[in-house]
Amino acid sequence: MHRELTFSRRTFLGASAGAAATVAFGRWAPGALASERLVPPGKLGIQLFTVRDQIPRLHNSVVDMNPANPFFGQPLPGGFRGVFEALASFGYKTVEFAGYTQGANGPITTQEIRALLDEFGLTAVGTHLSLNTLRTNLAFEIERCQILGMGYIGTANRPTDGTNAPDAIGGVHSVAGYKAAAAEFNAWGETCASAGLKLYQHNHTDEFRFATDQPSVRV
């Protein structure tokens, strides 16, 4: 029998955020959040940027000291292995990367990260690069994405950051700046497409301003 779920954006965000927060607060318990999960199985993903302080922490080196947490008194996960295991136990299936180092847990290769993804049933769908990296090291990053099995490669920087248009340096929101950025993105997109990847821009609120040179135009 099919049952429709009705919930607000606030409820959805609360339930999803609860799963992510558990990584930060304590050792995982697979059934701990089951009663609150509203996202269908297999559809839950996470930006690893949101747990960026967990991955470099030495695995099991810190004990959760928050008495309000159901995992109070237990060691916290760290490194890609610890965090991936925790995410998988919560039901996460996809991740967006925001770096490839794991701090106190020691060096790790791209191939080793891929092995951990496979071990815990996770899929890498995209990555979170700087515009400068796209400008100077795109071929290397494409190869890394292919090893990790990604279909997408992206940036979280404003499109106009550091573009060659004089009025776009520093991210000025002008029509000219965005036209210069579009030319860069089109060139990168062609390179990515030839390697079987799609390019995306991971936007924030700053990208939705009106143009400085044409105030009636939203860039």
Closest CA to 89 of 121, 62, 61: 121
Closest CA to 45 of 8, 87, 86: 87
**In this structure, how many other beta carbons lie within 10 angstroms of the beta carbon of residue 94?**
16
Report pLDDT for 214.
Answer: 82
User: pLDDT tens digit string along 34-74?
Assistant: 556 677 878 899 999 999 999 999 998 888 888 887 568 88
Report pLDDT for 133.
Answer: 93
User: pLDDT tens digit string along 12-38?
Assistant: 334 444 544 444 434 444 454 555 667
Report pLDDT for 123.
Answer: 97
Domain ranges of the chain: 9-208
> Could you tell me the end-to-end alpha-carbon distance of the chain, in angstroms, rounded to an integer?
46
Q: 208 vs 36, which has greater pLDDT?
A: 208
Q: How confident is the model at residue 136 (pLDDT cuts 50, 70, 90)?
A: very high
Average pLDDT over the chain, rounded to an integer = 81
**Helix extents (H) in 48-174:** 79-90, 110-119, 131-148
Q: 17 vs 108, which has greater pLDDT?
A: 108
Distance (Å) of CA 80 to CA 61, 116, 175, 218: 14, 8, 41, 40
Look at the pTM and tell me if it is higher than 0.85. Answer: no
Q: How far apart are CA 55 and CA 38, in angstroms?
A: 26
Q: How far apart are CA 21 and CA 122, in angstroms?
A: 18
Q: At what angle do helices 131-148 and 175-194 cross, to 10 degrees?
A: 20
Report pLDDT for 16.
Answer: 45
